[in-house]
Every structure is written in C-alpha cells, then in structure tokens.
Amino acid sequence: MLHKEEDMIKIRGVVVNTTEMGSGFVSTLDEEIAFVPIRVMNTSKAEVGDVITAIAVKNFEEQQGKAKYRVIRLDVVKQAYSIDTFKEIEKLEPANDAVGIGSIPLDPNKITTAELNETVARFVASSDHPFLAREALSYFMNEYGIEGYDMKTSTRVNSALQYMHDRGEVPCAKLYKGGSISVASSVYFAKDISILKEYLTTKFD
C-alpha cells in the first residue's frame, strides 16, 4: 500500500510486546501505542526492550482502540542490555516524600506523568528481586485502586521503566526463550546490578 507523505509521522519509543505470530507493539514518547506488522518486525530485527524510531501512519479505524499508529518502517536506535553489557549503577532508594494514596485520583487518564513516574520509582526501589514490567503495572494499579487492564496505562508504566533505564537508574536484561539467542521473550528490570546478576546466574546456570 502506498502512503502519502503528509500522512506519515516519525515516532520514537520502545518495543514493549511481541505476539506469537511475530508482530509487535511500540510504546511511544507521547504515551500512545503503535502496531508493528510482522514484515516490519522481521526486517528491522527489533526485539522487546529495544528503543526505536519509526515512520508510522494512523492505524485502520477499526483498530484505533488497540493501537493509534501502524508502523511502516522501523529502525533500532538502542538494543536492550544483555548481561554482558551491564554497567554498575547506584541502588535506588524509596522516596521519602511519597504521595499519599488517598489524594490520588482513580481515573488512569487523570494521573499525571509525574505521579506515575514517582509510583513506578517507588516500586522499583522497594523490590528486592528482578521484575517484569507487568509486575510494576500491577503494583501501580493496586496503589491507585484501578481495576481492569488498560493498554494505555500499561504503555505509560513500560515507558517509565524504559526511561529510568535510559538515565542509568535501573539495569535491565533480555532473556531468551528456550535458550535461543534469536528472539527475546522478556525483559527483566531490577533496582541494582547485583540483584539482577545474582538472579540471572541462579536461574540460568
């Protein structure tokens, strides 16, 4: 399908999920979801956890509820760290001035990015084990009393974790399904390097 130049936009984000069929989903900087077709995923060799730039168009109208954009070209800017590329970072400590839960609105759309980031950072700092993004999402939803899965909220939590990682605050590592080094099955985060190294060594030795 040919697309008009005026219909194309450039996006930047993180690959947050892939399907069994091979398509993917990107969490963008403006907290939207972009669908990545199988052909584009295969051509770009993008994996879960990679930071990307992409050319996208608005998704088909019937798919807008799941993903606002549809990617037509994708380039990997930065691959998620493997255990061999870890850098030492300081351990995160819980914030002393945490916002009281009673004062926080329950509507996910009314929660500010600053409030969300603070809650995610508090979860990271209090976790003495490596965790998947969905564990941070569960903690966030429990803190705010949110019920039911919401794709946009999941995207915002994934983005918060990735940006903390980009700033050198949180280490993360790709894990590969079935020992394969061709397709990343998940990305684990942790508040400090020693916890992540110990976990991976114990789990996969």
Two tokens, residue 180: 């394969």
Is the pLDDT reported for residue 178 higher than 80? no
pLDDT band at 39 (very low <50, low <70, confident <90, very high): very high
Hey, where are the domains in the chain?
5-78, 80-205
pLDDT reading at 181 higher than 90: no
Q: What is the CATH number of domain 80-205?
A: 1.10.10.10
As given in the structure block, the two tokens for residue 110 are 């009314």
Query: Per residue in 47-90, pLDDT tens?
Result: 877 888 999 999 888 887 788 899 999 998 876 554 444 444 45
Residue with the bigger pLDDT between 189 and 149: it is 189
| CA separation for the pair 23, 46 (Å, rounded) | 10
How high does pLDDT run on average in the chain?
Answer: 78
On the question of pLDDT at 205 being above 60, the answer is: no
**pLDDT higher at 148 or 119:** 119
CATH number of the domain at 5-78, out of 3.20.20.70, 3.10.129.10, 3.30.56.10, 2.40.50.140?
A: 2.40.50.140
The gap from C-alpha 33 to its chain's centroid, in whole angstroms, comes to: 11
Cα distance between residue 17 and residue 176, in whole Å = 14
pLDDT of residue 116: 87
C-alpha to C-alpha distances, 25 to 29, 120, 143, nearest whole angstrom: 13, 21, 26
Alpha-carbon span 17 to 35, nearest angstrom: 10
